[in-house]
Amino acid sequence: MFRLLNLELQKLLLNRTSKVLIFISFILPFFVILLSSLKINVFGFFTLELGELGIFNFPIIWHLTTFFASQFKFFFAIVVVSMIGNEYSNKTLKQNLIDGLSKKEFILSKFYTIVFFSFISTVLISIISLCIGLYYSSYNEISIIFIETNFLIAYFVKLVGFFSLCLFFGMLVKRSAFALAFLFILYILEWIIFGLFAWKFNSDTAEKIQNFFPLKSMYKLIDQPFQRIAMTKFPDKTNLVYDYAVHSYEIAIVLAWTALFIFLSYRLLKKRDL
Amino acid sequence: MEPILTISNLTKKFGYLTAVKELSFTINKGNVYGILGPNGSGKSTTLGIVLNVVNKTSGDFKWFDGNTTTHHALKKVGAIIERPNFYPYMTATQNLKLVCKIKGVDYSKIDEKLEIVGLLERKNSKFSTYSLGMKQRLAIASALLNDPEILILDEPTNGLDPQGIHQIREIIKQIAAKGTTILLASHLLDEVEKVCSHVVVLRKGEKLYSGRVDEMISSHGFFELKCNNQDTLVKLLQNNSVFGKIKVQDTLVTAFLNEPMKSDDFNKFLFENGIILTHLVQRKESLEEQFLQLTDKN
């Protein structure tokens, strides 16, 4: 397993473009979160301190940071599709197989890399959230701090799922740019199907069905936190209440998609003549 | 003789096109094999199948004694297919390190193999800065990393300049001299003739011949003759059953033998019949002529 991971890391880290993109996708969100947690003096008129709004309180901070950090996943998605696209365009995939890598090992090495980077990202985000939280949060009891850490699990699963989807698209179309286009098409397609169901039945049923779609199910893992922040500000407005928690069935759906995408990538490669 | 690769009834279809048809042959240890065939005769497809990058339609092949999986067997094989494929942004050493990781070979082999192909001074240059000849030599170094039991080369001199071709050929000869089994696919016949002891001839995916190069056509060679009284010579040869076909081209007479005959006996025979030669050469058909005869016949 470490051999395969090692193999893929060498391919990625010696490539300047992917190194920059990896840096952006993993380091940038932390800077953004870190900066936002600082006291910013806007030209001496007033000081902007988001921490005062209570958004860095435990446990809501887990929700907020994972939601924002996951928006940066697109940069690493480019790395994932290009690591497949490059193998095809350089014909190194063929050479790797001739050199004695099996097709299964090839897919696994890509998958381990995805898991590895998702894991690193999760660890980083948990450390930074913990630090900021400990600094700003009004509640510091251990039980409250760790109460919603399942957002971290959701974050990890979300990243692995999304990158597996990118991996599959990369294998399917062999070219990075087209794979990204496919991602966009899938996004539109999911909404079109949603629209069709909403028109035939009603929007509640349609949304329930849509929650099973790949992109939507990944998005659903971590719901947007704005409404929740508003909820904490105006606790008496009951129409703001929504279900923001991470559910185990949501994780199960995404894990099922992940397994399917990895399996399909393998099938695709196995059937293909290079 | 220890078999390294056994192919039996291998078939590959691309849609309606049959690229390889019921192909069977065996590669034994220690010989240098050539696979000959015109473009599109299924050479690369056959190699692709045994190297695990092309899926077979039917038939079978087995590496070594048949007890190892293809995936494990390939770690004991070195192969270059068509063009050298490496990561352009990595240096030669980095690229070879990657291959070492795949094959499970120690890094110490890298410099040793770069030395063999004469790339040691350029080992820290990026692959993208290499010339085609250097790329091809790096590919050979890469294929040699695991000290393979068999080296498979598919058109190794394709697109190279004369110096490049010569360098590659010298390297192949060196490797062959060390007793490594080599399988060389090419349509350049003089290349195969110079290095191979055995040959497999393919046409449209079918095997026309497999065996030793010198036994490819049961012929006893021919004489090329010139003399001042050509007509007498031709008449004499035509009346002799030792000779088959007689070809006359300007002043050059070519006489094909039906049975073995030494040139000194032949010279004596002509002299006794009053013919004095100005030119006498005894030759066997070149591989090219044999190959063309074989592929035209069917």
Tens digit of each residue's pLDDT (9 = 90 or more) over A192-250 = 998 888 888 888 888 888 888 888 888 888 888 877 877 777 777 767 677 778 888 88
The two domains B3-215 and B222-297 share their CATH topology (first three levels equal): no
Q: Measured between CB atoms, does A271 come within 8 Å of chain B? A: yes
Cβ–Cβ gap B74/A273 under 8 Å: no
CB atoms within 10 A of CB B114: 23
Query: Cβ contacts (< 8 Å) between B52 and chain A: which residues?
Result: 97-98, 102-103
pLDDT class for A268, splitting at 50, 70, 90? very high
Any CB–CB contact under 8 A between B102 and chain A?
Answer: yes
Q: Do A98 and B94 touch (CB under 8 A)?
A: no
- Cβ-based contacts of B72 with chain A (< 8 Å): 100
Partner A contacted by B75 (CB < 8 A): yes
**Residue B87 to chain A, least CA–CA distance (Å):** 7
Residue A137's pLDDT is what? 75
Is residue B124 classed as helix, strand or coil in its secondary structure? Answer: coil
Question: What is the C-alpha to C-alpha distance for residues B122 and B99, in angstroms, rounded to an integer?
Answer: 18
Determine the residue among B44, B98, B128 to mutate to test chain A binding: the one whose Cβ has the most chain A Cβ atoms within 10 Å: B98
**Between A35 and B96, the higher pLDDT residue:** B96
Residue A205: its pLDDT value, please? 83
- Closest approach of chain B CAs to the CA of A121, in angstroms? 26
pLDDT at residue number B126:
93
Which comes out higher in pLDDT, residue B107 or B214?
A: B107
A43: left (phi over 0), alpha (psi -120 to 50) or beta: left
Q: Which of A20, A21, A88, A98 to mutate to test the interface with B (most CBs of B within 10 A)?
A: A98
User: B3-215 sits in which CATH class?
Assistant: alpha beta
A197 and A41 in contact (C-beta within 8 Å)? no
Check residue B82 and give left, alpha or beta (phi > 0: left; psi -120 to 50: alpha).
left
Looking at the complex, does the CB of residue A260 fall below 8 Å from at least one CB of chain B?
no
The runs of H, that is alpha helices, within chain A are 2-13, 16-36, 60-70, 73-89, 92-98, 103-136, 142-145, 150-173, 176-200, 203-210, 214-221, 226-233, 248-271
Partner-chain contact A15 B94, CB within 8 Å: no
B91: helix, strand or coil = strand
Instruction: For residue B298, name the pLDDT band (cuts at 50, 70, 90).
Output: low
pLDDT tens digits for range A188-204: 999 999 888 888 888 88
Which residues, at least 6 apart from B244, have a Cβ–Cβ distance to it below 8 Å? B256, B257, B258
**How does pLDDT run across A74-122, given as a tens digit for each residue?**
888 998 999 999 999 988 999 999 888 899 999 999 999 999 999 999 9
| Residue B76: strand, helix, or coil | helix
State how far the alpha carbon of A267 is from the alpha carbons of A38, A272, B43, B108, B172, in Å. Answer: 49, 9, 26, 36, 38
Report how far residue A55's alpha carbon sits from residue B203's, in angstroms, rounded to the nearest whole number. 74
Place of tokens 């067997």: B73
**pLDDT tens-digit series, residues A51-67:** 666 677 777 888 888 88
Q: What secondary structure does DSSP assign to A4-50, as a single string?
A: HHHHHHHHHHT-HHHHHHHHHHHHHHHHHHHHHTS-EEETTTEEE-G
The larger pLDDT score, comparing residue B93 to residue B246, is at B93
Q: Are strands B222-227 and B252-257 parallel, antiparallel or unpaired?
A: antiparallel
Write down the pLDDT at residue B217: 66
B87 interaction partners in chain A (CB closer than 8 Å): 11, 14-15, 86, 90, 92
* Sequential DSSP letters for B146-172: T--SEEEEESTTTT--HHHHHHHHHHH
How would you classify the pairing of strands B77-80 and B17-28? unpaired
Q: Scan for tokens 């990118």, then name that residue.
A: A166
pLDDT in tens, B79-88: 988 788 899 9
CA-CA-CA-CA dihedral for B265, B267, B271, B273, to nearest 10: 70
Q: Count Cβ neighbours within 10 Å for each residue of A247-264 and write b for 16 or more, e otherwise.
A: eeebbebbeebbeebbee
Q: B89 pLDDT band (50/70/90 cuts)?
A: very high
Region A1-16: mean pLDDT is 88
Beta strands B150-154; B181-186: pairing state: parallel
What residue ranges do the domains of chain B occupy?
3-215, 222-297
Decide if B281 touches A, using CB distance below 8 A. no
Question: At CA B200, angle to CA B199 and CA B202, rounded to 5?
Answer: 140
pLDDT tens for each residue of B59-80: 989 888 888 888 888 888 999 8
Give the model's pLDDT for residue B1.
74
Three-state DSSP class for A255?
Answer: helix
Please name the residue of chain A whose CA is at the shortest distance from the CA of residue B103.
A100
Between the CA of residue A187 and those of A141, A180, A191, what are the distances in Å?
A: 41, 11, 7
Residue A57 per-residue DSSP state: S
**Which amino acid type is present at position A133?**
G
Would you state the pLDDT for residue B90?
Answer: 92
Compute CA A96 distance to the chain's CA centroid, rounded to the nearest angstrom. 29
CB B203 within 8 A of CB B218: no
Task: Sort out which chain B residues have CB atoms less than 8 A from A100's CB and list them.
Answer: 71-72, 74-75, 77, 102-103
**What's the pLDDT score for residue A170?**
93
- Beta-sheet strand order (sheet of B32-36): B77-80, B150-154, B181-186, B32-36, B198-203, B206-212
Decide if B87 and A97 are in contact by the 8 Å CB cutoff. Answer: no
User: pLDDT grade, residue A266 (50/70/90)?
Assistant: very high
Give the CATH number of domain B222-297; options: 3.30.200, 3.30.70, 3.30.420, 3.40.50. 3.30.70
Choose from B11, B12, B52 for mutation: most chain A CBs within 10 A.
Answer: B52
**What is the least distance, in Å, from the CA of A71 to any CA of chain B?**
30
Report the C-alpha gap between B194 and B30 in whole angstroms. Answer: 16
Contact list in B for residue A14 (CB cut-off 8 A) is 87, 89-90, 94
pLDDT for A48 equals 63
Residue A30 has pLDDT above 90, yes or no: no
Nearest to A90 among B71, B77, B88 (CB): B88
Would you say residue A253 has pLDDT above 80?
A: yes
Distance CA A89, CA B126 (A): 18
The rounded distance, in Å, linking the Cα atoms of B155 and B143 is: 14
Please determine, for residue A141, whether its predicted confidence score (pLDDT) is greater than 90.
no
In angstroms, the separation between the Cα of residue A111 and the nearest Cα of chain B is 17
How far is the first Cα of chain B from the last one, in angstroms, to the nearest whole number?
32
One-letter amino acid for residue A191 of the chain? W
A19 CB contacts (<8 Å, ≥6 apart)?
Answer: A12, A13
Give the pLDDT band (50/70/90) at residue B110. very high
